[in-house]
């Protein structure tokens, strides 16, 4: 089967997506480097005909600045890789049990680095979540048999980004709400104002405020860059970039756009008529 490769250039840094079938698609993170574990490094540790054999990778892992990819089409079972070949320092665990396979990766201090789902062939399929060293989620995306879903990519943005059009028509202004689900217990409101200001409000279900800030927004390269007065409202940065996503200019959504792509899970704000907790 032919391989299809393409590069998507992004401002300042590059976000690289590599597509092939069967295969893998990934986004290169600025502080984490991708590396594929070798099938030839696999060693059988224990035979278990009921639950699946246990394996380990003999790969010598020294740095925790890697996101490891599994070699495809390996035997079912449980796999581990260690830092410095020390079984007390787990770097990677892969639960390869057919359609419900998944992996967990860790920094050298034991904090979670990545949590990913796989299909029965060893391709990323389902959710892929990456965390920084402080435990903050920096990427959360869906994959389909090795390929990242289009809605997370720059190609999707090129079609459905209505930021400039809605700002010019003044239809972009008003309140945007991030509502919690079973997977994201968070309430946020962003009030986008025509005078170049905005208000951010993070609150509990009873409208008791946890974090609040005013700030300024500006339109840059067809995207909105929000700069908050209070640097504590967003854990990783006092500035965030958003796109107003819409189909034919209707039902706009405010979605964060970073060097990784469109982060739907952490920043899908729905436009509403009125903010329910914070009022300007």
Q: What is the pLDDT of residues 181-208, one digit of tens each?
A: 655 567 899 999 999 999 999 887 778 8
Task: Provide the token pair at 232.
Answer: 């504590």
Whole-angstrom distance, CA of residue 8 vs CA of residue 260: 11
In this prediction, residue 146 has a pLDDT band, given cuts at 50, 70 and 90, of confident
Q: What is the pLDDT of residues 224-240, one digit of tens each?
A: 999 999 988 887 778 99
Q: Is the pTM of this model over 0.85?
A: no
Q: Which of 164, 155, 256 is nearest to 219 (CA)?
A: 164
Hey, what domains does the chain have and what are their CATH numbers? 4-148 (no CATH), 156-272 (2.40.128.360)
């Amino acid at each position: 089967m032919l391989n299809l490769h393409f590069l998507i250039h992004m401002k300042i840094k590059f976000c690289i997506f590599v597509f092939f079938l069967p295969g893998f698609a990934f986004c290169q993170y600025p502080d984490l480097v991708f590396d594929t574990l070798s099938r030839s490094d696999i060693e059988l540790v224990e035979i278990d005909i009921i639950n699946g054999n246990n394996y380990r990778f003999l790969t010598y892992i020294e740095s925790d600045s890697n996101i490891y990819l599994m070699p495809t089409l390996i035997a079912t079972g449980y796999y581990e890789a260690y830092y410095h070949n020390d079984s007390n320092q787990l770097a990677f665990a892969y639960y390869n049990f057919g359609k419900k396979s998944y992996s967990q990766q860790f920094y050298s201090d034991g904090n979670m680095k990545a949590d990913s789902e796989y299909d029965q062939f060893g391709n990323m399929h389902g959710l892929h979540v990456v965390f920084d060293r402080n435990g903050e989620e920096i990427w959360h995306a869906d994959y389909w048999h090795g390929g990242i879903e289009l809605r997370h990519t720059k190609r999707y943005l090129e079609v459905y980004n209505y930021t400039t059009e809605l700002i010019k028509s003044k239809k972009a202004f008003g309140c945007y709400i991030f509502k919690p689900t079973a997977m994201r217990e968070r309430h946020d409101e962003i009030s986008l104002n025509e005078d170049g200001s905005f208000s951010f409000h993070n609150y509990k279900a009873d409208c008791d405020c946890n974090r609040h800030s005013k700030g300024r927004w500006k339109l840059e390269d067809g995207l909105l860059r929000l700069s908050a007065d209070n640097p504590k409202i967003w854990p990783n940065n006092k500035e965030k970039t958003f796109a107003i996503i819409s189909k034919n200019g209707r039902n706009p959504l405010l979605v964060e756009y970073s060097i990784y792509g469109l982060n739907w899970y952490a920043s899908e704000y729905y436009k509403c008529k009125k903010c329910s907790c914070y009022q300007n």
